[in-house]
Structure 1
């Protein structure tokens, strides 16, 4: 049994030394040596039961290089975090062997190519963060077979096409971040995600109206489609179906028509961003009943009736936060 334990530790050590060999010789690797127990290495945490590496966190260490295939031998790894470094190239398919992995954060590196479809085999994955890289192409539909997924962050890449309709399979999803890509369509199937709390699809190429199903998601607390080419009207009863909404940002789009007359029913609303659209008509004076509001942005529209608002709301209309 002891021999087997030593073999496991040796396997993990070899995998981590391969990462060291593929990276610039940063000072964090000073104690990554055969003379120091693996579980005492900087950025490494081992599990008490099996004495295997369960967490690798080398984020914000200024590392550069590539990810070696040997990293796929960390078979007990649960959490992999290498964000805010300068790793580059493509991801080795051997990482598909990390079947215990629950959290992966590769944010703000220089990875490129398509998102590998083998991510779809990591069935225990809960947090999937690839933001701030150079991934291109479409999202592989197989990613949406990850039934345990709670957060997906693919923002600040070069992804395009449509958001796959298979997203409806992610029934435990709580947060979606797809900002600064080139997506063109919001699938109505997003509206079936009854645990979703945060939805960010800012600075993309979205067109046409937002599917009505999105405005019926009672679990949502934050919605931002800022900086697209979305059009159409905002439902008058939006607050009735979004009772928990705290941040609603639809600024810099092509929405038109009057403002919803019942916006005051969004009792939890903290931020309302509708700037730079084509809204017309008067500003409902009942908007002053939003007692929790901190910021309202309505500039660059064709609205009238500002004189109906009290002085506090005159101030926040021009971006100064309400105290």
Structure 2
């Protein structure tokens, strides 16, 4: 039912669809608060309601759906904070809303999480160091928020990660000396428009799969090393 002209609130009669596993209502004009009765759809695996006009906060009832693997709420008008209980999600997308508060520490326990998109919100505070323990993570995007503090070095040891995107925040500190020693699959590193400083680590040349390196509008200094010429994918 995605990409249509549906509008109004979602009918509560949808709770009768107890065998439903995949629900795509994206790119419509649905509004109102996200129904808490989604929590009754205990077999749901994928819920995509991106690009609508949903308001209110993210219902805590999502944590009742133990089968839910993909939750996409991108580009709505959702407020409040990110729920502390994520469950068994592999993909969580909350881009382009008006979420506030900090990134919840329990997110570090979402061991199955592979994709986390929470860019274009109003999140504050530090990035929890424990997210660096999520070894299944492939895409980590927290761009254009109001985050401060340094980037935890643990993030640069997630061996499966392909995209790290922290642009458009107020992150400070420097990059680790062994930046790319533990990132064999990294394809995109987006760090522009922060307050990062120091030299470019020579280990950057070890990112053999790197295709996009975005570092402008920071406070980096020092010489550029000849080893960077080995980044043949850029």
TM-score normalized by structure 1?
0.71
Report what 1:209 is aligned to. 150
Contact 1:70 1:94 in 2 (8 A): no
| Structure 1 residue 158 corresponds to structure 2 residue 98 | yes
Alignment of 1:295-306 (within 5 A): none
Counterpart CA distance in 2 for 1:255 and 1:141 is: 29
Report what 1:271 is aligned to. 212
| Structure 1 residue 141 corresponds to structure 2 residue 66 | no
Report what 1:127 is aligned to. 70
SS at match of 2:15: helix
Counterpart CA distance in 2 for 1:251 and 1:93 is: 38
Contact 1:69 1:95 in 2 (8 A): no
SS at match of 1:157: coil
| Structure 1 residue 283 corresponds to structure 2 residue 231 | no
Alignment of 1:91-130 (within 5 A): 91-130=34-73
Report what 2:114 is aligned to. 174
Report what 1:243 is aligned to. 184
Contact 2:55 2:79 in 1 (8 A): yes
- Give the superposition deviation at 1:169: 2.2
- Give the superposition deviation at 1:91: 2.4
CA deviation digits over 1:200-242, x for unaligned, max 9? 0010001110112112211111111011110100112111022
Q: Which moved more, 1:87-96 or 1:228-237?
A: 87-96
Give runs of ≥4 in structure 1 deviating > 4 Å.
none
SS at match of 1:160: coil
Counterpart CA distance in 1 for 2:38 and 2:111 is: 25
- Give the superposition deviation at 1:95: 2.2
SS at match of 1:159: coil
Report what 1:74 is aligned to. 17
SS at match of 2:113: coil
Unaligned 5+ residue runs, structure 2? none
- Give the superposition deviation at 1:258: 1.0
Report what 1:229 is aligned to. 170
Counterpart CA distance in 2 for 1:73 and 1:91 is: 17
Q: How many residues align?
A: 233
Counterpart CA distance in 2 for 1:186 and 1:200 is: 11
TM-score normalized by structure 2?
0.97
Counterpart CA distance in 2 for 1:172 and 1:139 is: 17
Alignment of 1:306-321 (within 5 A): none
Report what 1:64 is aligned to. 7
Q: Which has the higher helix share?
A: 1
Contact 2:144 2:168 in 1 (8 A): yes
Contact 1:69 1:93 in 2 (8 A): no
Counterpart CA distance in 2 for 1:243 and 1:78 is: 35
Report what 1:86 is aligned to. 29
RMSD: 1.0
- Give the superposition deviation at 1:243: 2.0
Counterpart CA distance in 2 for 1:261 and 1:62 is: 52
Counterpart CA distance in 2 for 1:271 and 1:95 is: 38
SS at match of 1:72: helix
- Give the superposition deviation at 1:171: 1.2
Higher relative contact order (CA 8 A, sep 6+): 2
